[in-house]
Amino acid sequence: MGAGVLAIGIWMRVDETIVSYLHVVNIHQSDPLIDHAGTIFIVIGVLVFVVGFLGCFGAIRNSQGILFMVSAPTTATHVFQQGRAFAQFVDVVMQSFDQEIVCLS
């Protein structure tokens, strides 16, 4: 997974004609994020690749320290995602209550 994301990031940084593919995903060529998307993909690809490698290496070597180095960021990421999903749910519920209150008054 990490190697695939890394390869896409390198392709985005190297290929000059990448903007010709943007119509498929409905992104405008003048979007400022396009300039940084390749770098973001490279960074995320490297991080996923390193975590995956350390997980496999720790499992092979039966090293609790290396496995903890893998499980700690994975757990932190999971907790962050759950917290963000809960915050989004609360935001949607509060917006629906606001709309109902406005309709009732």
- Find the range with the poorest average confidence among 29-33, 73-77, 98-102: 98-102
75 and 58 together in one domain: no
* pLDDT of res. 103: 61
Q: Could you read off the pLDDT of 18-58 as tens digits, one per residue?
A: 777 777 777 776 777 777 888 999 999 999 999 899 999 99
**Across all residues in the chain, what is the average pLDDT?**
85
Number of domains in the chain: 2
13 and 54 together in one domain: yes
DSSP code string of 36-73 = HHHHHHHHHHHHHHHHHHHHHHHHHHT-HHHHHHHHHH
Domain that holds residue 77: 71-105
Asked if pLDDT for residue 100 goes beyond 70, the answer is no
